[in-house]
Amino acid sequence: MKKLLTVLLASLLCVGAAIGLTGCKAKSDYDKIKEKGYFVCGITLFNPMNYFNDEDELVGFDTEFANAVAEQLGLKAKFQIISWSAKYLELNSGAIDCIWNGFTYGNESDGVSRTEYVDFSYKYLLNGQCVVTSTANLSVLNSAAAFAGKKGMAEGGSAGEELAQSLSSVYTATTSQANALLELKSGTVDFIVIDATMANALVGQGDYNTLSINPAIETEIEEYAIGFRKGSDFTAKVNEAITTLSANGKLAEIAAEYDLSSALIENIGAK
Amino acid sequence: MSFELINSKLLVGFGTTCLLFLLTLVLSLPLGLLIMFGLKCPFKPIKWLCNVFVWAIRGTPLMLQLFVVFYVPSMLFGLRIFSFTSTTVFDGRFIAALITFVINYACYFSVIFRGGVDNISRGQFEAGKVLGMTKSQIFFKVILLQVIKTVIPPVSNEVITLVKDTSLARVISVAEIFFINETEILTKAIVWPLFYIGVFFLLFVGLLTVLFNYIEKKLSYFKA
Amino acid sequence: MAYLEVQNLNKSFGKTEVLKGIDLSVEKGEVLSIIGSSGSGKTTLLRCMNFLEFADSGKMILDGETLIDGDSVKKESENELRKKRLNFGLVFQSFNLFPQYSVLKNLTLAPTLLLKERFKEYKKTEKDGQKRKEWLAAEKKAINDDCLALLDRVGLTEKANSYPCELSGGQSQRVAIARALALKPKILCFDEPTSALDPELTGEVLKVIKGLKNKDTTMIIVTHEMGFAKSVSDKVIFMADGIVEEEGTPKEVFGATKSEKLKAFLSNVTDKEGE
């Protein structure tokens, strides 16, 4: 009996070793990306990070940032609009290669750190969550307590979800931050929580001139970073490129173009 | 955004919708026929397998199937078969959606076809036999057209449902008309395209209705 | 040995024995009528002879060729069965015309499909494309002419381009008879050809069947029309409970009835006809 067990264990070990070896031979994530010649960034359309300008070109800080990194690596960047709540599924299934869309380094709304799901790049941009209401409502919704029972909304799986839920128990998740703005404008919700970068770029002007950033709620400062598959060697490659772009001023140039100079983190990755 | 820009975006999205619809239809009808043969197979294991398959496909939401087809191969088996991109509409997402739709609709069609064949009197098969026809001659020369005639109304129902079901492909980010509208237009607080899209669909379904009426009329010369 | 010999044919459906050792024989050009009450096995006998059902045991020999030998038919290939079936034509009670085809196409369909097989054979011997074309055109024309002639024989030339749904029951059955004849079967079988018809329409069909009678056409007719059986048949078989209860010429069977069952059957039928 003992002998049989030994034989069994030994053969199991052999099989395990064989799998391990083939595992070593398997191509790394970055090898696969190099082979393709491009990497796919999972995005939602969201001003000023990734959006279509009047000429119908995909522009934005993150768009140009990704293109610059791609150039550094001798690759191409492709952009795929995804459903934000499916971002980890998209990433792990290989349908996208990174989450690069004003992705906050922090927690999911359930309090689980996003580092459980992805490997982050260096942080590159400061951001905060921002409560937006209609301008007419500013005087009513003037304290955190006043939000109780009001209809709140944020993008499902976004950094703002936690705040929205803590302000009011009447909460609905939507598919994108842009959608949340639309809902607020049409009056179907009373307040939304979105990224400060986006709110600064859109609220109080153009289509959204009836809306205001609500100063009653103060939020903590957060940072944006790029999310990669856990254990991917692509992260280090992108980090190298970011360090270069930060040092040579290219990143500052892009930030200036999108009015984000004050939010940009300087000397990224410098020792 | 200007009208021209929105119009061109919507047209591109509608093109994808139409392509998804047409390819699904063209591929699912013959596959439905094949599954129908499986459902009627005298060899029990095949018949049983086909029945279970049809049950599983008809018994689960199309949306779930889209997720399973697109994400599961790579998540569970490391096969990144649908992660490729393309300069044309035929990227991995589109192909995954197409495969899902074809399988889903083929199952519905197979059951409709089975009903159609079961409705044909046994005498038609026997008449073919005593006239020395082979099984395939009996099916294709005698039975098929009669089946087509009897299944046109239920099939037209399914086809019209398919037109509208294509919008489900947006859950795996296939850039069909609703996805484009949802991500690029509606978010700019522009709502008139909703009516525009409504008109697209009405025209499309109207066209299909005319087509099916025409086929029905064409086949009205005989009684199956 | 007779032209067609059936010996000791047996057939069961599950535990129900439908045919219990049927023997019969028909000479070439003869008309055999099979009579009997419903459930006596007449139709099953006919269907076994046409290979729509498979006999469990017994023999059937036609023109010297053994078609059924024990239960061998069950193991035979589709193609073998097709060849055997072509020895017989069968006219169904419910016509079973192909509704999507015109009357003429109903007749030409099967011969044309068979022509395709013959053409494949012909192609092996003839390499000249032009000759092949001519051969095929001539054969097609022959089929067409044959079928038109058959339509004339059943008196329906003017219906050649009509569809089955435009025909009366009697006309449909006449087309079905012509369709069965189009393949020139050695034996033409009728399965209660007038049972699905209104009484006033049976006459035209029976007239057509009578008109077919000549030295070359061998027919087996399962029928409930006693008068017709009496006048058209050379031989009559009375079946009851899966066996041949009585057989003979019409005179013997109807005039000098021996079996009690047949006597009861006949009086029953005449009563009904009298009503």
Average pLDDT score over residue span A119-134: 93
**Residues in A lying within 8 Å of B, measured between beta carbons:** 38, 40, 44-45, 52, 54, 56, 78, 80-83, 89-90, 92-95, 175-176, 178-179, 181-182, 185-186, 207-208
Average pLDDT score over residue span C109-120: 93
Place of tokens 């293109």: A67
Distance CA C268, CA C253 (A): 15
Looking at the predicted structure, is the pLDDT value of residue A3 above 80? Answer: no
State whether A229 and A120 are in the same domain. Answer: yes
Looking at the predicted structure, is the pLDDT value of residue A9 above 80? Answer: no
In sequence order, the 6+-apart residues with CB closer than 8 A to the CB of A23 are none
Tell me what pLDDT residue B120 has. Answer: 93
State whether A201 and A242 are in the same domain. Answer: no
pLDDT in tens, A143-157: 889 999 899 999 888
Looking at the predicted structure, is the pLDDT value of residue C154 above 90? Answer: yes
Kindly state whether residue A13 falls inside one of the protein's structural domains: no
In sequence order, the 6+-apart residues with CB closer than 8 A to the CB of C170 are C197, C201, C202, C204, C205
Kindly state whether residue A211 falls inside one of the protein's structural domains: yes
Q: Does A215 sit behind a cis peptide bond, omega within 30 degrees of 0 on the bond before it?
A: no
B-C C-beta contacts closer than 8 Å: 64
Average per-residue pLDDT for chain C: 90
Whats the size of chain B, residue-wise?
Answer: 224
Place of tokens 């046994």: B122
In sequence order, the 6+-apart residues with CB closer than 8 A to the CB of A261 are A252, A255
Looking at the predicted structure, is the pLDDT value of residue C119 above 70? Answer: yes
Closest-approach residue (CA) in chain B for A50: B184
Average pLDDT score over residue span A60-82: 94
Place of tokens 């055999």: C32
Tell me what pLDDT residue C70 has. Answer: 76
In sequence order, the 6+-apart residues with CB closer than 8 A to the CB of C35 are C42, C222, C223, C224, C226, C229, C236, C237, C238, C239, C265
Interface pTM (ipTM) of the complex? 0.90
Tell me what pLDDT residue A124 has. Answer: 94
Kindly state whether residue A155 falls inside one of the protein's structural domains: yes
Kindly state whether residue A10 falls inside one of the protein's structural domains: no
Higher pLDDT, A175 or C218: C218
pLDDT band at C272 (very low <50, low <70, confident <90, very high): low
State whether A215 and A89 are in the same domain. Answer: no
State whether A193 and A215 are in the same domain. Answer: yes
C110–B132: do the CB atoms touch at under 8 Å?
yes
State whether A172 and A206 are in the same domain. Answer: yes
- Tell me if the pTM is above 0.90: no
Looking at the predicted structure, is the pLDDT value of residue A188 above 70? Answer: yes
Residue B80 contacts A where some CB pair is shorter than 8 Å: yes
Q: Which segments of chain B have a pLDDT < 50?
A: none
The chains found to touch A (3+ Cβ pairs under 8 angstroms) are B
Q: Do chains B and A touch (3 or more CB pairs under 8 A)?
A: yes
State whether A214 and A239 are in the same domain. Answer: no
State whether A177 and A189 are in the same domain. Answer: yes
Average pLDDT score over residue span A26-36: 88
C113–B137: do the CB atoms touch at under 8 Å?
yes
**Least CB–CB distance from A176: residue in B85, B92, B187:** B187
Which residues, listed in sequence order, are joined to residue A154 by a DSSP beta bridge?
Answer: A173, A193
Distance from CA of C168 to the nearest CA of B (A): 14
Tell me what pLDDT residue C72 has. Answer: 67
Looking at the predicted structure, is the pLDDT value of residue C84 above 50? Answer: yes
Chain A hits for B184, CB-CB cut-off 8 Å, are 45, 52
Are B93 and B173 in contact, with CB atoms under 8 Å apart? Answer: yes
State whether A251 and A194 are in the same domain. Answer: no
Going through chain C in order, the beta strands assigned E by DSSP cover 4-13, 16-26, 31-35, 57-62, 65-69, 88-91, 187-191, 218-222, 235-240, 243-248
A-B C-beta contacts closer than 8 Å: 62
CA diameter of chain A: 82
C50–B127: do the CB atoms touch at under 8 Å?
no
Tell me what pLDDT residue A271 has. Answer: 66
Tell me what pLDDT residue A55 has. Answer: 84
Tell me what pLDDT residue A1 has. Answer: 47
Which residues, listed in sequence order, are joined to residue C68 by a DSSP beta bridge?
Answer: C60
Domains identified in chain A, total number? 2
Which residues, listed in sequence order, are joined to residue C13 by a DSSP beta bridge?
Answer: C16
Kindly state whether residue A7 falls inside one of the protein's structural domains: no
CATH number, domain with residue B198? 1.10.3720.10
pLDDT in tens, C26-65: 999 999 999 998 889 999 999 999 999 998 999 999 998 9
Kindly state whether residue A22 falls inside one of the protein's structural domains: no
* A180-194, C62-76, C183-197: least confident range: C62-76
Distance from CA of B132 to the nearest CA of C (A): 5
Tell me what pLDDT residue C273 has. Answer: 57
Domains identified in chain B, total number? 1
Tell me what pLDDT residue C275 has. Answer: 46
**Least CB–CB distance from A56: residue in B5, B92, B173:** B5
CATH number, domain with residue A144? 3.40.190.10
pLDDT band at A16 (very low <50, low <70, confident <90, very high): very low
Of C203, C204, C209, the closest CA to residue C191 belongs to C209
Distance from CA of B212 to the nearest CA of A (A): 37
State whether A230 and A217 are in the same domain. Answer: no
Q: Do chains A and C touch (3 or more CB pairs under 8 A)?
A: no
Tell me what pLDDT residue B181 has. Answer: 86
B175–A208: do the CB atoms touch at under 8 Å?
no
Higher pLDDT, C270 or C164: C164
Q: Do chains B and C touch (3 or more CB pairs under 8 A)?
A: yes
The answer for B 122-161 residues in CB contact with A (under 8 A) is none
Closest-approach residue (CA) in chain B for A53: B1
Half-sphere exposure of B144 (CA within 13 A, CB side): 11
Chain C hits for B145, CB-CB cut-off 8 Å, are 100
Looking at the predicted structure, is the pLDDT value of residue C171 above 90? Answer: yes
Higher pLDDT, B189 or C185: C185
Instruction: Provide the domain limits for residue B159.
Output: 3-222
State whether A166 and A42 are in the same domain. Answer: no
State whether A153 and A102 are in the same domain. Answer: no
Are B193 and B14 in contact, with CB atoms under 8 Å apart? Answer: no
Average per-residue pLDDT for chain A: 87
Are B168 and B20 in contact, with CB atoms under 8 Å apart? Answer: no
Other beta carbons within 10 Å of C65: 10
Instruction: Provide the domain limits for residue A133.
Output: 128-221
The chains found to touch B (3+ Cβ pairs under 8 angstroms) are A, C
